[in-house]
Structure 1
Amino acid sequence: MDFFQKLPKIELHAHLNGSLSNSTLSELHVLKYGKEPATERDESFYKITAGQNLTLKECFQKFKYAHDLTDQPETLAYATRAVIRDFAVDNVIYLELRTTPKATYHMTKTQYLTTVLETIRQAQKDYPTVTVKLLPSIDRSKGLQEATENVSLVLEMHQLYPDIIKGMDLSGAPYGTKFSDFATILERAKVRGLKMALHCGEFPDDDEVWEMFQFGTDRIGHGTFIGGSNLKFAKTNRIPFECCLTSNVKCSTVKSYEDHHFKKLWKAKHEVCICTDDFGVFDTSLSDELRICSETYGLSTQDILQLQENTIEYTFASEAEKQQLTKLFDLFKNTLKDN
């Protein structure tokens, strides 16, 4: 585990509210509610944040707690800073965070997004070892009007934070929606130079995957059910897969680590990277995910190092930032030679 911890790492698929650790959730609970007498609801909360093995239902309950605890600027800023800190402690040197702008009783969508962006900007000074970008999300389950509002807001904020907002994400429960309904909305962001990291192939629908490919996604979120001609297209066009091992196993979209599609992607030399998705919800870290990857699929330390170096090209970073990331990996490789 020492190697995986010391290894410089790149995280490209991490949702803000899903990346709140148990300790951060507890701190947020105190920050928002104070140390009030425990209610029945609180007893459930403390069980879930006690570090026990959780059922899938309990894992998703953590999302509800996270959203409740980050519904005001003070707690949202605290949460964003804590997530960046935790990735920095895990020696992540480049991070692309995702979150959907939300209007709550305590803040508007503009306040939500501004709070996250300002916290990222400040965190860059406090945690200079990690470069942080933001991919604002569209939650497709919320409908077209919400998506239209969010894209307009993102384009407005992109003018103020062009160094932080580098792309957009399409996520959320896909059932009952069609990607084609969102394509025109996302095109507005695409023509403004924002990259696309779409949740793609999370359920069996070859036609939707092909629509996303024709639209032009820059990366594939999960890609669990992509096969046949679509898989060949992804390889030919070098579209990277963001593979989230523990997330997929715990959500039962794959049966086990051994059955995860990363295995075939790696063997077939597809563009692929390892990500956490929601490290707080699923109680993992990028170091843990890379260790699992190595142990399950027989990747050597050199393979893991190459996997991470390859990921530099999949980032939405500037060319200068990519060069800096490459230098950091070169320095790490030199330390391995010295030892």
Structure 2
Amino acid sequence: MPMDEKLVRAAPKALLHDHLDGGLRPQTVLELATEVRHPLPADDVESLGQWFRDAADSGSLERYLETFDHTVAVMQRADQLERVARECVEDLAADGVVYAEVRWAPEQHLAEGLTAPEAIDAVQGGFDRGMAEAAENGHPIVVRQLLTAMRHQARSREIAELAVAYRDAGVAGFDIAGAEAGFPPTRHLDAFEYLQRENAHFTIHAGEAFGLPSIWEAIQWCGADRLGHGVRIIDDIALADPAGPRLGRLAAYVRDNRIPLEMCPTSNLQTGAASSIADHPIGPLTELRFRVTVNTDNRLMSGTSMTREMLLLGDAFGYGPSDLLWFTVNAMKSAFLPFDERLRIINDVIKPGYAALT
């Protein structure tokens, strides 16, 4: 069945890898920056949005990271965090997302005197308001927080303890993010061991900019439930073997144990993990039936949405609604949500939604 934007937007979607500070509306960045007198590289909405996309596409890590300097700068007060969180839910609901885990690093939002618990409460207030308004508008959505620790800092245990403290108040799990090279996840073993003792969920950014050792450490040393990106697992698969694709030990372990891959196609092009959508490892990994999920990563920097990501994959690989349903059920199965709640969304929302489309 051919797919167009209207059909894909209407399809129920689940999102596991989306950064709060990477998904602001350009209008919001401009208004909040004006309010706090933070200088921006452009002074109108269209030019500012284009600047974020160009900087992310530049191939310069320095310019890419500069984009977050501007978004984080306008997310330092409770009212700012609440607004950004509410608008995030509004935008996801309008894109047909029915479940989302949105990650952010509390330690990056304390410059104006907020405590980490106050920042978490502000984000949750925005999510709650956004979910209530979305339900009133006929687009119900469930959104949960993932608390991120920065891998080049030393606050991971503190953030892990907050993730556990707030797990019945909107926080679904924990994540570490930041530069992989030189900052292996094993530097944060204390946090991961604590989370495991507390029966808590966590994902780790691994296998994006760095290779197989990053994935191996995340899984075998740290016990990650999911892999943030994980595209470099393709390096452990001999695709050109005359007898057919041959999986190495690590790739086989990831597939056999159904370890979810939080894949973000457009973002991976910007960071150099793939040269084009058609050449993205998501294609062969999907054929080999890894637990592949589709995600946005940073919607502002990539100028993207779940609808756009799925349309790009459809164009590149010929995917249709049944494939999008497969990706969506994969994500929902992998969500850091109680089993009965995951099952309810799959059976009562996702499957009927796709059946209505086809």
Equivalent pair of 2:49/2:300 in contact (CA under 8 Å): no
Aligned pair 1:155/2:164, yes or no? yes
Structure 1 stretches lacking a partner, 5+ long: 34-38
Residues 209-220 of structure 1: matches in 2 within 5 Å? 209-214=215-220, 215-220=222-227
Structure 2 stretches lacking a partner, 5+ long: 237-247
For residues 96-151 of structure 1, give each alpha carbon's deviation from its aligned partner in whole angstroms, at most 9, with x where no partner exists: 01011122123122221221123223333222311011110111012x3x222222
Change (3 A) 1:48 1:176: farther
Equivalent pair of 2:103/2:147 in contact (CA under 8 Å): yes
Change (3 A) 1:100 1:249: same
In structure 2, C-alpha distance between the alignment counterparts of 1:290 and 1:140, rounded to whole Å: 30
In structure 2, C-alpha distance between the alignment counterparts of 1:118 and 1:330, rounded to whole Å: 30
The DSSP-based 3-state class of the residue aligned with 2:299 is: coil
* One-letter code aligned to 1:318: P
Residues 55-134 of structure 1: matches in 2 within 5 Å? 55=55, 56=58, 57=60, 58-102=63-107, 103-128=110-135, 129-134=140-145
Change (3 A) 1:74 1:207: same
The DSSP-based 3-state class of the residue aligned with 1:61 is: helix
Point out the more displaced range, 311-320 or 64-73. Answer: 311-320
The DSSP-based 3-state class of the residue aligned with 2:227 is: strand
Point out the more displaced range, 238-247 or 195-204. Answer: 195-204
Which residue of the partner structure matches residue 243 of structure 2?
A: none
For residues 244-298 of structure 1, give each alpha carbon's deviation from its aligned partner in whole angstroms, at most 9, with x where no partner exists: 0110112222111122110110111111010000011111000000000111111
In structure 2, C-alpha distance between the alignment counterparts of 1:164 and 1:110, rounded to whole Å: 12
In structure 1, C-alpha distance between the alignment counterparts of 2:125 and 2:306, rounded to whole Å: 25
The DSSP-based 3-state class of the residue aligned with 1:280 is: helix
Point out the more displaced range, 22-31 or 270-279. Answer: 22-31
In structure 2, C-alpha distance between the alignment counterparts of 1:42 and 1:31, rounded to whole Å: 12
Q: TM-score, normalised by structure 1?
A: 0.89
Point out the more displaced range, 314-323 or 279-288. Answer: 314-323
Equivalent pair of 2:17/2:103 in contact (CA under 8 Å): yes
The DSSP-based 3-state class of the residue aligned with 2:296 is: coil
1:7 to 3, 6, 11: 11
The DSSP-based 3-state class of the residue aligned with 1:54 is: helix
Which residue of the partner structure matches residue 36 of structure 1?
A: none
* One-letter code aligned to 2:142: T
The DSSP-based 3-state class of the residue aligned with 1:257 is: coil
In structure 2, C-alpha distance between the alignment counterparts of 1:270 and 1:172, rounded to whole Å: 25
1:194 to 190, 197, 200: 200
* One-letter code aligned to 1:187: E
Per the TM alignment, residue 331 of structure 1 is displaced from its structure 2 partner at its CA by: 2.4
1:248 to 243, 250, 268: 268
In percent, how many aligned pairs have the same letter? 23
In structure 2, C-alpha distance between the alignment counterparts of 1:43 and 1:179, rounded to whole Å: 34
Give the superposed CA RMSD.
2.1
Equivalent pair of 1:48/1:54 in contact (CA under 8 Å): no
Change (3 A) 1:63 1:238: same
Per the TM alignment, residue 74 of structure 1 is displaced from its structure 2 partner at its CA by: 1.3
Equivalent pair of 1:222/1:241 in contact (CA under 8 Å): yes
The DSSP-based 3-state class of the residue aligned with 2:289 is: coil
Change (3 A) 1:109 1:256: same
Change (3 A) 1:12 1:50: closer
Change (3 A) 1:62 1:149: same
Q: TM-score, normalised by structure 2?
A: 0.85
The DSSP-based 3-state class of the residue aligned with 1:49 is: helix
Which residue of the partner structure matches residue 283 of structure 2?
A: 263
Aligned pair 1:139/2:150, yes or no? yes
Per the TM alignment, residue 182 of structure 1 is displaced from its structure 2 partner at its CA by: 0.7
In structure 2, C-alpha distance between the alignment counterparts of 1:107 and 1:239, rounded to whole Å: 36
Which residue of the partner structure matches residue 319 of structure 1?
A: 339
Per the TM alignment, residue 90 of structure 1 is displaced from its structure 2 partner at its CA by: 0.6
Aligned pair 1:331/2:352, yes or no? yes
In structure 1, C-alpha distance between the alignment counterparts of 2:120 and 2:353, rounded to whole Å: 35
Equivalent pair of 1:20/1:281 in contact (CA under 8 Å): no
* One-letter code aligned to 1:54: D
